[in-house]
Amino acid sequence: MTRMGRVTRLLVVFVVVLLAALIGILTRPPGLLATFWCANALLLGMMVRWPILIEWPTWIAAAVAYVSADLLTGNTFSMAIQLNGANLVGVTVGVLLLDYLKRTPFRLVDSTSLMWMVVVAGLSACATAATAGLMDWVFRGESFADTLVHWGSTEFMAYLLVLPLILSMTIPSSIAEIRSKTTVRAVLAMTVPLLATAACMPIALSIEGPIALLLPIPALLWCATRISVPSTALVSAVWSVWSLMMADAGRLALGEQSGANVNEAVITSIAVTLVALGPIAVACATQERRAAERELFRAVEYDSLTGVLSRGPFLRQAEERLQQATQTALPIGLLMLDLDHFKAVNDTYGHMVGDSVLADFGARMAERVSDTDLVGRLGGEEFAVLLTGSSFARATEVAEEIRHAQVHDSARSGHDSTVSVGLAWTNDSTPTLASLMVAADAALYEAKHAGRNVVKAENVSDIVSGVVPERITRTA
């Protein structure tokens, strides 16, 4: 850990907490608590998401930021210490709880993590409100219960609006990753639900009563099933903050939001919290379901040992690729690969080593083909690779790279293993998958009889046209 790195982190914490506290103070109604106080949730979220921040200098930087915000806005030093002491107590409870449970770094990825987030938010809010209520009762003779309920409800709401944003967001590692996710389809899938939610805002202003807070629920649930958890959390947070501001200004006709009627403010906070939490819960459940579907798909489609396609899915997808290639006149290459003397590997080193050889070979093939190619395990130690849009030179080059890698990489592992490869390639004919496999299998048969550890290739187009092909042989 460099000194510059620590200073940068502390500066980020100080600036984030200071700005959040200033926004909360400057937007609060006269004589009341902040309508939306997000500083505590931001601090808690950063510390449990990035546990490197859990150290004494971070607490000091945050405390200085809290107090500075109060002093800059005219509060006395004594009041600043009391208010922000309660803020830090709540954050400390949340951090210590998750750290004790060994759930840091904490990410919002499923329903279980959502449950823990709600528990931590509730306990942190109660700790802050109880500390503030005790101070109000001791120093100002005010009602402990009123402070506990009012401050606790607003704190809980702020935690449940801000924490999902921090704990679910993903930070792209490169510009390429951003571009890969910013497709027209992805943008449309996100834009339409967002526009539907935004359309609820002017409608809500024209509706009187609590139903204005419930109006966006269908649109928010639509967002939850169509876009990611971070995006859903952002939309829910924006709607909730807007609702609070409009309610506080009397624009939603929910009742008089004043100190004389604390219950109105508490009920509004609870309603906004529930409206925001529902879509986030649906988004987490949807994300879980999609992850389970991906795992199920992988279990059905892919060989569990080698990580490449199983026989059935490979043959089905290869047929589909051939139909597409025929329509677009793309060249096609099919490799048939068979590990040489594999039974001897099992007999000499045992089946565990044999499984390792198969798994390593599957990985080597996958590393040497493009994303548009198909790799499959046909059975035992026999594999196939379908190369779409590949020239004959590239097809033979891929085959040779796989053969060469198997020789050298297996030698380094201490378990010598080679592979024989048969290649069938066509440019201007329209063969079936069966004819390609027959040709590639014949080439593989020749490779085996040529001494193994050999690449044999032939042009299927020549066979179809009646031309006797020139056999191409690559050896070690």
Q: Give the CATH number of the domain where residue 347 resides.
A: 3.30.70.270
83 and 149 fall within a common domain: yes
Nearest to 105 by CA among 165, 45, 42: 45
The structure tokens listed for 213 are: 């807070």
Residue 99's Cβ-count burial label (10 Å; 0-12, 13-18, 19+) is middle
Domain that holds residue 338: 311-475
The domain tally of the chain equals 2
CA atoms within a 13 Å half-sphere pointing along the CA-CB vector of 77? 1
Helix and strand numbers (H, E) in the chain are 18, 6
238 and 324 fall within a common domain: no
- Strand 472-475 relative to strand 419-426: parallel, antiparallel, unpaired? unpaired
The structure tokens listed for 50 are: 């990035």
Contacts of 179 by beta carbon, 8 Å cutoff, 6+ apart = none
332 and 414 fall within a common domain: yes
Q: Is residue 303 part of a domain?
A: no
282 and 407 fall within a common domain: no
Residue 297 confidence (pLDDT): 80
Question: For the sheet containing 472-475, what is the strand order?
Answer: 374-379, 382-388, 332-339, 419-426, 454-459, 472-475
124 and 240 fall within a common domain: yes
Q: Which of 265, 298, 331 is the last residue of a domain?
A: 298
Residue 471 confidence (pLDDT): 46
- With beta carbons less than 8 A apart as the criterion, state whether 305 and 355 touch: yes
Q: What is the DSSP letter of 104?
A: -
CA dist 80 and 67 (Å) reads 5
340 and 471 fall within a common domain: yes
The structure tokens listed for 353 are: 């080593």
Residue 235 confidence (pLDDT): 84
Q: Is residue 305 part of a domain?
A: no
The structure tokens listed for 476 are: 């070690």
Q: Is residue 18 part of a domain?
A: yes
Q: Is residue 426 part of a domain?
A: yes
117 and 74 fall within a common domain: yes
Q: What is the pLDDT along the chain (476 residues), one digit of tens a residue?
A: 466 688 899 999 999 999 999 998 887 766 566 767 889 999 999 999 999 999 999 999 999 999 999 999 888 888 889 889 999 999 999 999 998 888 989 999 888 999 999 999 999 999 999 999 998 888 888 888 888 888 888 899 889 989 999 998 877 655 655 555 556 666 666 677 777 777 877 777 777 666 777 778 888 888 888 888 888 888 888 888 887 777 766 666 655 444 444 566 777 778 888 888 888 889 888 888 888 888 888 788 888 888 899 999 999 999 988 888 777 778 888 999 999 988 888 888 888 888 988 999 999 898 888 888 899 999 889 999 999 888 888 889 999 999 999 988 877 777 788 899 999 988 766 678 888 898 999 999 999 998 899 999 877 755 444 433 444 444 44
218 and 168 fall within a common domain: yes
Q: What is the DSSP letter of 260?
A: T
The distance in angstroms from the start CA to the end CA of the chain is 49
CA dist 49 and 71 (Å) reads 29
215 and 103 fall within a common domain: yes
331 and 357 fall within a common domain: yes
The structure tokens listed for 288 are: 């879980």
List the beta bridge partners of residue 295. none
Q: Is residue 381 part of a domain?
A: yes
Residue 333's φ and ψ, nearest 5 degrees, are -125, 140
CA dist 233 and 194 (Å) reads 12
- Strand 382-388 relative to strand 332-339: parallel, antiparallel, unpaired? antiparallel
Q: Which of 256, 271, 298 is the last residue of a domain?
A: 298
276 and 320 fall within a common domain: no
Q: Is residue 447 part of a domain?
A: yes
Residue 59 confidence (pLDDT): 94
CA dist 260 and 249 (Å) reads 16
- With beta carbons less than 8 A apart as the criterion, state whether 50 and 105 touch: yes
Nearest to 426 by CA among 315, 338, 329: 329
List the beta bridge partners of residue 420. 338
The structure tokens listed for 374 are: 């198909």
Q: Which of 267, 298, 329 is the last residue of a domain?
A: 298
pTM over 0.75: no
Q: Is residue 306 part of a domain?
A: no
Neighbours of 366 (CB within 10 A): 14
Q: Is residue 363 part of a domain?
A: yes
324 and 199 fall within a common domain: no
Residue 464 confidence (pLDDT): 43
Q: What is the dihedral of CA 445, 451, 455, 456, to 10 degrees?
A: -50
CA distances from 459 to 109, 176, 329, 406, 445 (A): 50, 37, 16, 25, 16
